[in-house]
Structure 1
Amino acid sequence: MKKLLSWNVNGLRAIEKKGFLDIVAELAPDVLALQETKAQPGQLPDALRNIPGYESFWASAEKKGYAGVCIYTRLTPLAVISGLGLPEFDREGRVLTLEFDDFFLINSYFPNAQHGLARLDYKLAFNRTLRTFVEQLAARKSVVLCGDFNVAHQPIDLANPEANRENPGFSEAERAWMDDFVESGYVDTFRKFNREPGHYTWWTYRFNARARNIGWRIDYFCVDAASEGRVQ
């Protein structure tokens, strides 16, 4: 059994100071997918570029200190695919894919629709492009799509759904894309095992939200239908 972890670190250099390497050692994943690294490899110390026992792969934003994804892996990949092949998305460092013997792992940091849904069109275009990419890979072998999707899919996935109607991350358009993705056969693996409320992956720094568990579940592991039985 392979242990896969996904984590939006909101700045890899910042999280290093909060025990990141100790956490990795304790959890000991086979593959660790990070989002919002906010760094290019050359900006990082060797301890972060080369964790003992892991290879690391990076897709960084052109703009320093912004977005970016990386994958640490104990499993040697057959191939590495950086981005989606479109500069308007790839310059932001949002997608990194590793091919292994029996599956593809796609690590993605979806765009935030932003205040007033100012970037909603960009996000939906990204979503459509990523969906096509996922389906192309799924035609070849199993696909695991993980990362920060920047959307709470259902009302159960955030503490205050009514207050957030049409806010970024809970707009009808974003949720409709997620509806279509899941209804087409891709499995939200957390909800496969847990259908209870109160489980979140992001909390604002304001209003003591973390302590009060006023959060959003916006991070996911999804697999194609053929792979559902392999998830534990």
Structure 2
Amino acid sequence: MSKKQNTLEKYLKPEVKEKNIHSNESAESSTRPTKKVKKDETNKTLKIPESLFFEKREGTVKLASWNVSGLNAALKKGFKTYVEAEDADILCIQETKVNEKVNDVVDSKKYKYRWWGFDEKKGYAGIAVFSKIEPISTSFGLPTHPNPESTKGRIITLEFESLYYVACYVPNAGDKLARLKEKIVWDEVMEKYLRQLDEKKPVIWAGDLNVAHKPIDLAKPNTNQKTPGFTPEEREDFERILNGGKSKFIDTWRHFHPNTEGQYTYYSYRFKCYSKNIGWRLDYHVVSERILDKVIESEIRSNVYGASDHVPIVLVLKDL
């Protein structure tokens, strides 16, 4: 056992076996009831299985994305354990719920380049990117949006020599779909922005995109047609973003796992959804079709649960 494994041994736990159990569970914290509910026992401390302690492939670039559902809380429940175990070259986190930079989130010697985006509302949304690789330029927010200032806590774009990396936390359609019209506007301007970038360089679009694209991407599709993240409007918008232009974008995980069921990235804390495998696939690494041949793997870290109600996702490229 390596030194790293010894250091983190207390966090190890057996793999949870998959089950295909259906639910009409909501897809985002903003739609959860406000009353106090009994939380899953796994929402205490992050457990990391031994299978995650592996050496990075030589000559590759690893990108990781994770909705941490509150950074300060995640830090108390093993966030740094995952960061150390994964050792990604670029790490994007969403739903930080902070309005100022948090010190010592990552090793500053490893991640020399760090960016934070804050929402106007206190304790809401928020995004951050940590990178070992210096980009050519960075920008914040969605310039194609009617109110671009309001999007700074949701998008950070890094420009590299060969591509754009768009770290993103897409808004939720809201309880009873109160913000569905706003979400539709977001989808329209998001598509416009991605296509503008794609005309210059290929794009990687990463993060919590807050949509389950196909019925296979959530546990109970039949009873969730009017649930945020799975409405016909949101799914049609996502389909259009992927396939509606001259150039196409690829959902990399689904590309490599076309028929895989029961693999999700979000599990509600209610009713022990994680242990029952009741979830939604809301987090993605989407890439321009023309760089798909650079993608070596696209994975969901299904065993990394406890510090957030989401699990991380990972993309490995031949180069950046």
TM-score (norm 2): 0.69
Q: Pick from 113, 120, 127: which aligns with 1:69?
A: 127
- The CA distance in 2 between the partners of 1:56 and 1:118, in whole Å, is 34
Taking every aligned residue pair, what percent have the same amino acid on both sides?
A: 39
Structure 2 counterpart of 1:34: 93
Residue in structure 1 matched with residue 231 of structure 2 by the alignment: 171
Please list every run of 5 or more consecutive structure 2 residues that lacks an aligned counterpart in the other structure.
1-59, 297-320
Query: Contact between 1:7 and 1:147, CA under 8 Å: does it hold in 2?
Result: yes
Deviations 1:37-68 (A, max 9, x none): 111234x2x21276331121011112121001
CA distance in 2, matches of 1:102, 1:40: 32
2:158 to 83, 94, 98: 98
Question: Equivalents in 2 of 1:194, 1:227: separation in Å?
Answer: 18
For the Cα contact (< 8 Å) 1:105–1:146, is it kept in 2?
yes
Question: 3-state SS of the aligned residue for 1:191?
Answer: helix
* 1:17-56 paired onto structure 2 within 5 Å: 17-42=76-101, 44=102, 46-48=103-105, 51-54=108-111, 55-56=113-114
Alignment pair present for 1:225 and 2:292: no
Amino acid at match of 1:71: V
**Counterpart check, 1:191 vs 2:276:** no
CA distance change for structure 1 residues 60 and 50 in 2, over 3 Å: closer, same or farther? farther
Cα distance in 1, alignment partners of residues 150 and 72 from structure 2: 21
Give the Cα separation in 2 of the matches to 1:84 and 1:198.
33
Q: Which has the larger radius of gyration?
A: 2
Match of 2:56 in 1: none
Q: Taking structure 1 as reference, are residues 216 and 122 closer, same or farther at Cα in structure 2, changes over 3 Å only?
A: same
SS of residue paired to 1:222: strand
Matched position secondary structure for 2:104:
helix
Q: Which range is displaced more, 213-222 or 10-19? A: 10-19
Assess if the C-alpha contact under 8 Å between 1:49 and 1:56 holds in 2: no
- SS at the partner of 2:255? helix
Contact 2:187 2:238 in 1 (8 A): no
Confirm whether residue 80 of structure 1 aligns to residue 144 of structure 2.
no
Secondary structure at the residue paired with 1:220? strand
Q: Among 158, 165, 176, which residue is 2:218 paired with?
A: 158
Match status 1:148 vs 2:208: yes
Measured against aligned partners, the alpha-carbon deviations of 1:191-217 in whole angstroms (never above 9, x if no partner) come to: 111121100000111111111001000
Are residues 1:206 and 2:264 paired? no
Give me the whole-angstrom Cα distance separating, in 1, the residues matched to 2:238 and 2:146. 24
Q: Distance in 2 between matches of 1:89 and 1:213?
A: 37
SS of aligned partner of 1:200: coil
Residue by residue, what CA displacement relative to the aligned partner does 1:97-138 show, whole Å, maximum 9, x if unpaired?
011111110011111011211101111111111111111111
Higher relative contact order (CA 8 A, sep 6+): 2
Q: Which residue of 1 aligns with 2:180?
A: 120
State the Cα distance separating 1:21 from its structure 2 match.
Answer: 1.6
CA distance in 2, matches of 1:113, 1:161: 17
User: Aligned equivalents of 1:135 and 1:95: distance in 2?
Assistant: 15
**d(CA) in 2 for partners of 1:160 and 1:111?**
22
Runs (5+) with no aligned partner, structure 1? none
Rounded to whole Å, the distance in 1 between the matches of 2:138 and 2:180 is 29
C-alpha RMSD over aligned residues = 1.4
Secondary structure at the aligned position of 2:194 is classed as: helix
1:87 CA displacement: 6.7
Q: State whether residues 6 and 32 of structure 1, in contact with CA within 8 Å, keep that contact through their aligned partners in structure 2.
A: yes
Does the 8 A contact of 1:50 with 1:56 survive in 2? Answer: no
TM-score with structure 1 length normalisation? 0.95
Change over 3 Å in CA distance of 1:89–1:159 after alignment to 2? farther
Aligned length: 230
